[in-house]
Structure 1
Amino acid sequence: MDVSEYGKAAQGMPRDTIVSRGPAAAAQGRPVTDVVFDFGNVLTIWNPRMALIGRYGEEAIDAFLDNSVSGFVDAYSMVDAGATTKEACEWMARTHGEQWASMYRYYCANFEDTLIGSVPGSRKLVLDIRNAGLGVWGLSNWGFEDFPVARRVFPSLQLLADYVVSGFVKVRKPYPQIYRMAYERFGIDPAGAVFIDDKPENIVGANETGMRGICFGGDPRALRRALADAGVPIPRGDAHPGDEVAA
């Protein structure tokens, strides 16, 4: 399938609940031994607008972030799949015009400003899963030139046992190859794992390779409840004042 077909297959996918479709249906109800996290907007907050507000007006930024105008989404998808920033800029200049390529160069030069914080509760969630004795891993679409910036800005990524990043392996989610690369690198059984991502098409990709998934809707408490309901022995995130809560 191409990306658009994954998107069609993901239509109507519920948020913050275990999804076990296709080959992943055989894993439904099995004990969870490993949790695999996406990074952007699951563990880390990425907002491309923040790299641009120091120079460009809102109208220009809106146009730049509209893929039909600038090709921005296609360009960063190329980078996620292993292209260099230079290659993406040259492609954008050829296909959409030098004015957008120039803006993309500025965006890339100020990429660190897009990384505006950690998703609330994500650090503690990773620690709680680790402390419960489960494997905790990362699987993210990210360009190989930009990822070292994220690793520096977000030391909490070092809490993961290991990770696979698309720009380094030159294949990105939702394509099945990258999930299988992750299983091999981590030494895990996909039937015992749960993948968390904010994009439903990437949950389709996980399911296609036998791994259950949760499409994160932005509420860290709902995510905790979904994992707890799947048997992960972590606090549900709904304690009341006076309840005894471990630090």
Structure 2
Amino acid sequence: MRPQAVIFDIGNVLIEWQPERFYDRMIGDERRRAMFAAVDLHGMNDHIDRGGAFAGTVYDTARAYPDWHDEIRMWHDNWIELASPVIDHSLRLLRALRASGVPVFALTNFGTESFDHAVTHYPFLREFDRHYISGHMKVIKPDPEIYRQVETDCGLAPETLLFTDDRADNIASARNRGWQTHLFRGSAGWADVLVAAGLLTPDEAA
């Protein structure tokens, strides 16, 4: 079935999200490994993605772990450096779909404040036809509830939605809802899927 809308994840699909790489550069691999073993930083970020305060959550965590206080605060204070750079080919695919009249949505685990901050650096994030931001929805992927909310809001049948995400658990949950899915492993593979679905020509997807 030809998809009626295409849904992009953002982190590692449109913008690289590699906190470990940032910390390796800032404090070195050994110290980064020790910090991530001592502090559940990804769990902290999940709380933000569920709607928790961005600065408040990070700074509270920093105070709770004084040995890593300054490093943890970087998660907020240097956030754009954690979430960069743009994946240029994916952005071209997003714009090619919209230019072809295909509705394009974002479905992303993202805090409300961190998303607003990201938009100031990445204005293209405003270009989606619909935004499904977990911080506003108070639920994160791969919880089936977030996919149900998307279906209810957009009014499209699950089998008409084509979704890409870099995490297998998020893809599996969408597939269980009946969505068409693609596990993102690079923009070239995603481009091939969009061409095969009849949404873009090879030239448009280049």
TM range (shorter): 0.7 to 0.9
- Of 24, 49, 54, the match for 1:80: 49
- What letter matches 2:177 in structure 1? T
Question: Where does residue 38 of structure 1 map in the other structure?
Answer: 9
Question: Where does residue 134 of structure 2 map in the other structure?
Answer: 166
Q: For the structure 1 residues 114 and 104, does the alpha-carbon distance in structure 2 shift closer, same or farther, using more than 3 Å as the test? A: same
User: Is 1:100 aligned to 2:68, yes or no?
Assistant: yes
How far off its partner does 1:84 sit?
2.1
TM-score computed with the length of structure 2 as normaliser = 0.87
How far off its partner does 1:109 sit?
1.5
Stretches of structure 2 lacking an aligned partner (at least 5 in a row): none
1:157-200 CA-to-partner distances (Å, cap 9, x unmatched) read: 12211211111211000011111222223332221111100011
How far off its partner does 1:115 sit?
2.7
Structure 2 CA distance, aligned partners of 1:238 and 1:144? 31
Aligned length: 205
- How does 1:222-233 map onto structure 2 within 5 Å? 222-233=189-200
Structure 1 CA distance, aligned partners of 2:49 and 2:112? 8
Once structures 1 and 2 are overlaid, which stretch shifts more, 32-41 or 128-137? 128-137
Question: Where does residue 60 of structure 2 map in the other structure?
Answer: 90
Stretches of structure 1 lacking an aligned partner (at least 5 in a row): 1-29, 240-247
1:51-85 CA-to-partner distances (Å, cap 9, x unmatched) read: 54785344222333x3x322111111111112224
Once structures 1 and 2 are overlaid, which stretch shifts more, 167-176 or 83-92? 83-92
Q: Identity of counterpart residues, as a percentage?
A: 27
How far off its partner does 1:106 sit?
2.7
Structure 2 CA distance, aligned partners of 1:101 and 1:173? 29
Question: Where does residue 163 of structure 2 map in the other structure?
Answer: 195
How far off its partner does 1:91 sit?
5.4
The structure with more helix, counted as a fraction of residues: 2
The answer to whether the 8 Å contact 2:58/2:73 transfers is: no
Query: Secondary structure of the equivalent of 2:163?
Result: strand
Query: Secondary structure of the equivalent of 2:11?
Result: coil
Q: What RMSD, in angstroms, separates the aligned Cα atoms of the two structures?
A: 2.4
The answer to whether the 8 Å contact 2:13/2:87 transfers is: yes
1:13-37 CA-to-partner distances (Å, cap 9, x unmatched) read: xxxxxxxxxxxxxxxxx12111000
- Of 229, 234, 243, the match for 2:201: 234
Query: Secondary structure of the equivalent of 1:116?
Result: coil
- What letter matches 1:75 in structure 2? M
1:92-137 CA-to-partner distances (Å, cap 9, x unmatched) read: 765xx33235422232122122232211311210122122222101
Q: For the structure 1 residues 57 and 225, does the alpha-carbon distance in structure 2 shift closer, same or farther, using more than 3 Å as the test? A: closer
- Of 93, 97, 103, the match for 1:125: 93
TM-score computed with the length of structure 1 as normaliser = 0.74
How far off its partner does 1:237 sit?
7.3
Structure 1 CA distance, aligned partners of 2:164 and 2:172? 11
